[in-house]
């Protein structure tokens, strides 16, 4: 980053008011902001009362040793009890917790009473395997019910889980197991992806051959594909099914480690982000209630994320269950067996609240408007987005084609590190602006600062920071307090540095501009990848775009854009198309943002959670061999891209 602030180029004037019926009975109102502003800690203390505590807390926040926070000091609770048992005790045992849909079309319905029995059996099984409070358990499962069941079983007995995306390599799994010194891995023979069984167990075998901390491997049978068995292996159906479905949950300290989740970051070893119990559950329950306006008696909620990503932890498992929600959980990919599968799921379960990622939305734009148009999506009342900045055009497409111009869109900004949503519209209060995440939630203190850590005025751009501790904040990087302090709390005195660029518009609303590491410096101007990508996606022939800065002898860096055309679009090849796009960007943002080069590609490299890996595109643009590709969803994508391209000039 240079001394200059980030550019602030894109103009977007469309506005969408909250639907009056939603506003009239919204869970969060304008007063909520005022209430939280008046007494932030009092506000969070009231939110913590959504949970059931075995022992009341004393202080709300202990911040005497910053940046090491303790929330709800001395309080005790059991997270699994809060997510499951207390709903059963309240007479809601027959309410569906999960409508689970397997990729091949098999289904399972789990009520809260069913979930209680399953979690208790799994907890008893973990105890039989010698897992104790404080031990770490690695979970490497597909999107099947045993995944949330395993997480809750760990939470119940006080073991700390570390979920690793099914599909990460043996090496990635081994590193994570070693770092956490996990005792047990829970896995499956495989899962279904793209219409085929996809094996997991061989990867685990390869990983644990070199992880001395692992004592046992607990294996769910999902695909029935033959797998090698080892002495350390135990089948789930042999061990768990026969256990008692009773288990008495013990209370754990509010700061007891609930889970570790690894984020790769751009350099170095993955960081084990540590989340604890009371504060985490308070914030995910509250935000799920307020941002999605959840009415647990009537809503059917679906978050399409993978549980291996923090979004799945907080908004498929802990938030929705703490609130007694009915959720849909889907195992597979959006295009199996056909490209309308997700819309078919919404139609089938009459989903009312839908939460997905911009990468998925742009893929649907590429596939064409007629696909969602073939399904009845009239049950939807609210739709959300997470993971990347949502380009204004993708927002408007989502609102129109999925939300029937009726559903508010909540663009939610947060991170693995923040644990829960931090910036988002409140659907009954906020007038939506396509592309803006809008305002910090009540009780959350966020700002945009310049290089010196000074708040920028409205209309300015800079670095996104969090100014006060929040309940679901990460507590440290597992085993590395020093790296925690250095990575997040050293860039600006007394503030959490998120690593994202942002701007405040003239109304003071927030627009996220992508990771500051991705900002391009062209002829002395900082240009955000997000704004150029959004300008490209606003061209009617473009579905997706990714840009990166490549070294240039004249301008320092030059913008290189990779674009995927929309399915039905014609005339998307050759120099004519490239010129059309370059002119379009120049018109939208000014000549400085004009890409030097446009490359039409069939796919973009993405992480498992759908984020574009611009670092790899930079390698292509600068004619380098590729860096670390271990977190890439699909390794063949880079070959596809390279094969299609002339060498970058």
Q: Which is nearer to ligand 6R9, 125 or 329 (CB)?
A: 329
Site for ligand 6R9 (CB under 6 A): which residue of 61, 138, 152, 310?
Answer: 310
CA 630, 635, 639, 645 torsion-angle sign: negative
Report the distance separating Cα 83 and Cα 97, nearest Å.
Answer: 10
446-483 b/e with 16+ CB inside 10 Å = b?
bbbbbeebeebeeebbbbbbbbbbbbbbbbbbbebeeb
347 in a labelled binding site: no
Instruction: Give the residue carrying structure tokens 């022939």.
Output: 541
- Residue partners of 429: CB distance under 8 A and separation at least 6: 18, 23, 26, 28, 29, 30, 32, 33
- Residues comprising the chain, all counted: 649
- Kindly state whether residue 528 participates in binding ligand 6R9, applying the rule CB under 6 A: no
- Kindly state whether residue 415 participates in binding ligand 6R9, applying the rule CB under 6 A: yes
Considering only residues 247 through 276, tell me which ones interact with ligand 6R9, judged by CB under 6 A. 263
Report the distance separating Cα 119 and Cα 148, nearest Å.
Answer: 9
- Kindly state whether residue 533 participates in binding ligand 6R9, applying the rule CB under 6 A: no
Joined together, the tokens standing for residue 562 give: 């990779």
Site for ligand 6R9 (CB under 6 A): which residue of 320, 332, 389, 595?
Answer: 389
- Kindly state whether residue 351 participates in binding ligand 6R9, applying the rule CB under 6 A: no
Q: CB-side exposure of 91: number of CA atoms within 13 Å?
A: 1
396 in a labelled binding site: no
Instruction: Give the residue carrying structure tokens 């084609």.
Output: 401
One character per residue 580-619, x = contact with ligand 6R9 (rule: CB under 6 A)? -----------------------------x----------
Total of chain residues touching ligand 6R9, rule CB under 6 A: 21
Q: How far is the CB of 508 from ligand 6R9 (least distance, A)?
A: 17
Report the distance separating Cα 12 and Cα 359, nearest Å.
Answer: 21
389 in a labelled binding site: yes
Site for ligand 6R9 (CB under 6 A): which residue of 57, 367, 413, 478?
Answer: 413
Report the distance separating Cα 648 and Cα 637, nearest Å.
Answer: 17
| Closest by Cα among 534, 501, 319, 517 to 413 | 501
Window contacting ligand 6R9 (CB under 6 A); options: 193-201, 307-315, 327-335, 633-641 = 307-315
List, in sequence order, the alpha helices (H) in 59-104.
79-80, 86-87
Window contacting ligand 6R9 (CB under 6 A); options: 54-62, 413-421, 427-435, 470-478 = 413-421
Report the distance separating Cα 65 and Cα 604, nearest Å.
Answer: 43
Q: How far is the CB of 417 from ligand 6R9 (least distance, A)?
A: 7
Q: What are the backbone dihedrals phi and psi of residue 357, each rounded to the nearest 5 degrees, phi first? A: -115, 150
539 in a labelled binding site: yes
Window contacting ligand 6R9 (CB under 6 A); options: 348-356, 405-413, 482-490, 581-589 = 405-413
Q: CB-side exposure of 386: number of CA atoms within 13 Å?
A: 28
Window contacting ligand 6R9 (CB under 6 A); options: 204-212, 330-338, 406-414, 586-594 = 406-414
- Kindly state whether residue 311 participates in binding ligand 6R9, applying the rule CB under 6 A: yes
- Kindly state whether residue 437 participates in binding ligand 6R9, applying the rule CB under 6 A: yes
Site for ligand 6R9 (CB under 6 A): which residue of 157, 498, 616, 617?
Answer: 498
Q: CB-side exposure of 264: number of CA atoms within 13 Å?
A: 19
Site for ligand 6R9 (CB under 6 A): which residue of 174, 515, 614, 618?
Answer: 515
Report the distance separating Cα 330 and Cα 297, nearest Å.
Answer: 21
560 in a labelled binding site: no
585 in a labelled binding site: no
Report the distance separating Cα 346 and Cα 15, nearest Å.
Answer: 27
Q: How far is the CB of 145 from ligand 6R9 (least distance, A)?
A: 23
- Kindly state whether residue 496 participates in binding ligand 6R9, applying the rule CB under 6 A: no
Q: Given the rule CB under 6 A, which residues bind ligand 6R9? A: 263, 309-311, 386-389, 411-416, 437, 498-500, 512, 515, 609
Residue positions forming the annotated binding site for CoA:
193-196, 311, 523
């Amino acid at each position: 980053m240079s001394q200059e602030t980030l550019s602030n180029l894109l103009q977007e004037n469309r506005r969408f008011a909250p639907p009056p019926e939603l506003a009239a009975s919204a869970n969060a109102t304008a007063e909520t902001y005022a209430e939280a502003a008046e007494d932030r800690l009092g506000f969070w203390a009231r939110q913590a009362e959504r949970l059931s505590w075995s022992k009341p807390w004393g202080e709300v926040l202990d911040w005497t040793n910053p940046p090491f926070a303790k929330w709800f000091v001395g309080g005790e609770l059991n997270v699994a009890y809060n997510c499951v048992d207390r709903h059963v005790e309240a007479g809601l045992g027959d309410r569906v917790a999960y409508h689970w849909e397997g990729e091949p079309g098999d289904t399972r319905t789990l009520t809260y009473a069913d979930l209680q029995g399953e979690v208790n059996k799994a907890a008893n099984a973990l105890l039989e395997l010698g897992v104790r409070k404080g031990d770490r358990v690695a979970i490497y499962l597909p999107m099947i019910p045993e995944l949330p069941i395993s997480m809750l079983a760990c939470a119940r007995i006080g073991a700390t889980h570390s979920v690793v995306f099914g599909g990460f390599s043996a090496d990635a799994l081994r590193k994570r197991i070693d770092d956490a010194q996990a005792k047990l891995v829970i896995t499956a023979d495989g899962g279904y992806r793209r219409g085929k069984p996809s094996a997991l167990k061989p990867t685990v075998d390869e990983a644990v051959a070199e992880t001395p901390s692992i004592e046992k491997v607990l294996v769910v049978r999902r695909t029935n594909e033959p797998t090698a068995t080892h002495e350390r292996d135990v089948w789930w159906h042999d061990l768990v099914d026969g256990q008692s479905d009773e288990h008495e949950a013990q209370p754990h300290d509010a700061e007891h480690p609930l889970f570790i989740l690894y984020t790769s970051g751009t350099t170095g070893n993955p960081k084990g982000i540590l989340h604890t119990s009371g504060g985490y559950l308070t914030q995910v329950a509250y935000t799920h209630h307020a941002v999605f306006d959840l009415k647990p008696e009537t809503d059917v909620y679906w978050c399409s994320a993978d549980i291996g990503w923090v979004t799945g932890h907080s908004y498929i498992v802990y938030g929705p269950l703490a609130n007694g929600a009915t959720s849909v959980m889907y195992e597979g990919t959006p295009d199996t067996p056909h490209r309308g599968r997700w819309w078919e799921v919404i139609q089938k379960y009459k989903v009312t609240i839908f939460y997905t990622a911009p990468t998925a939305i742009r893929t649907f734009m590429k596939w064409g408007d007629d696909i969602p148009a073939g399904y009845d999506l009239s049950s939807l009342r609210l739709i959300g987005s997470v993971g990347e900045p949502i380009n204004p055009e993708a927002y408007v497409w989502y609102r129109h084609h999925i939300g029937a111009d009726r559903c508010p869109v909540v663009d939610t900004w947060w991170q693995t590190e923040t644990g829960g949503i931090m910036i988002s519209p409140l659907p009954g209060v906020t007038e939506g602006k396509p592309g803006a995440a809008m305002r910090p939630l009540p009780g959350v203190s966020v700002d945009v600062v310049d290089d010196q850590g000074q708040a920028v005025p409205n209309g300015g751009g800079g670095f996104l920071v969090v100014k006060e501790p929040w309940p679901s904040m990460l507590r440290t990087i597992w085993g590395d307090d020093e790296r925690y302090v250095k990575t997040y709390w050293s860039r600006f005195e007394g503030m959490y540095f998120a690593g994202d660029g942002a701007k405040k518009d003239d109304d003071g609303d927030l627009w996220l501009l992508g990771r500051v590491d991705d900002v391009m410096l062209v002829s002395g101007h900082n240009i955000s990848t997000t704004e150029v990508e959004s300008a490209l996606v606003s061209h009617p022939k473009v579905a997706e775009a990714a840009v990166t800065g490549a070294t240039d002898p004249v301008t320092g860096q030059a913008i290189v854009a990779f674009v995927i055309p929309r399915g039905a679009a014609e005339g998307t090849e050759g120099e004519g198309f490239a010129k059309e796009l370059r002119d379009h960007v120049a018109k939208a943002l000014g000549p400085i943002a004009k890409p030097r080069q446009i490359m039409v590609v069939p796919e973009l490299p993405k992480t498992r959670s759908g984020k574009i890996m611009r670092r790899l595109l930079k390698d292509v643009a600068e004619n380098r061999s590729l860096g670390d590709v271990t977190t890439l969803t699909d390794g063949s994508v880079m070959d596809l891209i390279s094969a299609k391209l002339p060498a970058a000039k």
